[in-house]
Structure 1
């Protein structure tokens, strides 16, 4: 059994999103958003290079041609995580999978349902292709995993829930390696209509930074798609090497507000999650150099998280940033893509780009040296989670 004192090292990670396969823009594009073909709403969809890779993957195996887009995104991100980790199918370590998705097989489910309404029948594959469990099981199949294949759904904190589960299993010795993260492909007409019904969708055009975390004023939520997967390994603390990236802890919080869309003005679930993450890692607020916020651009959600950050950190509020102004809100994948962003900053020791609009996130510059980053996530139902990642000095 692995010692509870073992560290969880991030051996590799991969992602796919509106930025393609990068965590940051590779050129000075003004925006990553485009109008949805049916509704005209701004969305953060895959660029042509990533779309081509997805199409090639779909043709690689006959079984892949029927898979939902969310599963294929997870497979793309997994390939890159495994390649970076230098893991091979012949490795003897027990490998498990823990993946999350808020909506799951959105496109396949809607297609099958439309066919049922029209024809009164569905194919025999409809059920296995639309269960949430098929996300993790297909990833496990692709890498020859011999451990558990677990799928999670906790709305927009899903990916951190999946990663927290992986950390617990690794420390308990139930697996030696884990692939964990989140995936979402919600850019369908029905999903966009649901977001519009909440009256939170951005009024801004695709070419004028429609998603504006922390800007205040009218909500500027924009839907996006993507996936990110981390390759995790339990390592005795004595064997850590300088430059190793650690997933130190994942903390959780919950608040009951009487509705599934409401939240407390002071973000009690955020407060609980951030404090637990610090406690589990035996760290204080002054140890955090940067916060990657959940901040989806909604008026109430952004204000609640801002209040929670001030209450937890007090005078030690670190620099804050977000990547949703580039990726939109990818629901169950959003926290994993925030982690992808944080790991890029840690590994390359680069300061995050200021957001190109008026937002309180630009008020405190990031330090030149980033040692530890906290990532926040929250979703419908009162679920919140916070993760701490750091680099070994």
Structure 2
């Protein structure tokens, strides 16, 4: 399908968004009083798992039709977030209720879209890791696996099930994996397709369910996992040593459309605009590390600013990647100083509430940035850090960073118009 809304004047807007995380389906505000949302995994380490209400939503979704009972948790989290996004965008024909979920007027488990076909682009670092580990354990024990093992564990099945659940007909369904910047790879792809006229609507985001014994063992083997107890806010971006990396699970998905300059001017409500996406890469010897200068961050940030047509002085806040690892946190700040100078914009993070959700983290950070733009509020961490507290700043444009193993980084500029 060809989209006529191309050209320099057209913009990509976020029509709807959805999320699920350790905060459930909600977003934090500065007035909220928090107990630590982290809990202790059976392996003994702190994790940011879903709370009971969100867990019940996952269970209900799994039971909603036979085909969903075999899906990996990563896919189910994506379906929950995508349903919220399409409902908020008004793309489905179900009844939107106050919990952000869509109730369908028929027995069909999928959305029946009343608008033009859409494309889907979903990022995930590990993909269906839970089901893969289950199938592998079964193979070791019995020497065989079910026929469905391969299709259920390919990365491509994440986007294809989101497309199926959305009632998609005729559009692309693309899965991306580039470690912890995977969601921004998906967003960048969606933005490019929309600007090129190759799609008119996109569901794009990231999802991850990495709280498995094997994945946790991998993170602990690197030596970055937080030594703090689950009740003691164990993930502390910007707090320095020791390393306070903590795994979390979640998903965030965005309903994107391309609008003409005339449509933007005629809008009666403020619009969230995905203004630019940039990418960076540094070929360093350690594929788990990064340079002290954060060269890949610098490349990604400069590219995102250039694509957005703005300069450093136009950025009102930064949502950091900042996973709580001293070297990673310091490199990101060094990159920011190289671009912004010694005085940085307010630094924000949601990882102290959600943990590091790997391939979903960038999408959840962008969702948090959108929330800050809409409400001008965010919570203050209960530990010493360089993260900013709300203080009367007017936030109209936010830079969001992400980075991952292998030397890759990605940045997004989102603004409220």
Interval of TM-score (by shorter of Structure 1 and Structure 2): over 0.9
Per the alignment, residue 281 of structure 2 pairs with 254
Task: Report the alpha carbon displacement of residue 347 of structure 1 after superposing the two structures with TM.
Answer: 1.4
3-state SS of the aligned residue for 1:94? coil
Q: Does 1:328 align with 2:355?
A: yes
| Cα contact 2:28–2:379 (8 A) shared by 1 | no
Aligned counterpart in structure 2 of residue 35 of structure 1, from 28, 40, 54: 40
Quote the Cα distance in structure 2 between the aligned partners of 1:389 and 1:180: 15
Aligned counterpart in structure 2 of residue 384 of structure 1, from 404, 409, 413: 409
Q: Does 1:106 align with 2:129?
A: yes
Quote the Cα distance in structure 2 between the aligned partners of 1:256 and 1:90: 44
Quote the Cα distance in structure 2 between the aligned partners of 1:44 and 1:245: 28
Quote the Cα distance in structure 1 between the aligned partners of 2:295 and 2:356: 22
Q: What value does the CA root-mean-square deviation take over the aligned residues?
A: 1.3
Q: TM-score, normalization: structure 2?
A: 0.91
Per the alignment, residue 7 of structure 2 pairs with 4
| Cα contact 1:289–1:367 (8 A) shared by 2 | no
Task: Report the alpha carbon displacement of residue 368 of structure 1 after superposing the two structures with TM.
Answer: 3.1
Task: Report the alpha carbon displacement of residue 86 of structure 1 after superposing the two structures with TM.
Answer: 0.5
| Cα contact 1:155–1:332 (8 A) shared by 2 | yes
Per the alignment, residue 124 of structure 1 pairs with 147
Per the alignment, residue 51 of structure 1 pairs with 55
Query: 5+ residue gaps in structure 1?
Result: none
Task: Report the alpha carbon displacement of residue 367 of structure 1 after superposing the two structures with TM.
Answer: 4.5
Q: Does 1:176 align with 2:200?
A: yes
3-state SS of the aligned residue for 1:23? coil
Per the alignment, residue 75 of structure 1 pairs with 79
Per the alignment, residue 243 of structure 1 pairs with 270
| Cα contact 2:91–2:115 (8 A) shared by 1 | no
Per the alignment, residue 84 of structure 1 pairs with 88
Quote the Cα distance in structure 2 between the aligned partners of 1:23 and 1:298: 24
Quote the Cα distance in structure 2 between the aligned partners of 1:228 and 1:4: 28
| Cα contact 1:11–1:232 (8 A) shared by 2 | yes
Q: Does 1:115 align with 2:138?
A: yes
Per the alignment, residue 369 of structure 1 pairs with 394
Quote the Cα distance in structure 2 between the aligned partners of 1:334 and 1:68: 18
| Cα contact 2:125–2:208 (8 A) shared by 1 | yes
Q: Does 1:293 align with 2:317?
A: no
Matches within 5 A, 1:345-360: 345-350=372-377, 352-360=378-386
| Cα contact 2:32–2:379 (8 A) shared by 1 | no
Per the alignment, residue 227 of structure 1 pairs with 251
Question: Residue deviations 1:19-67, cap 9 Å, x none?
Answer: 0001216952320000002x11000000000000000000101000000
More divergent stretch after superposition (288-297 vs 255-264): 255-264
Quote the Cα distance in structure 2 between the aligned partners of 1:377 and 1:322: 11
Query: 5+ residue gaps in structure 2?
Result: 93-111
Query: How many aligned residue pairs are there?
Result: 389
Per the alignment, residue 273 of structure 1 pairs with 300
| Deviating 4+ runs (over 4 angstroms) | 364-367
Task: Report the alpha carbon displacement of residue 282 of structure 1 after superposing the two structures with TM.
Answer: 0.6
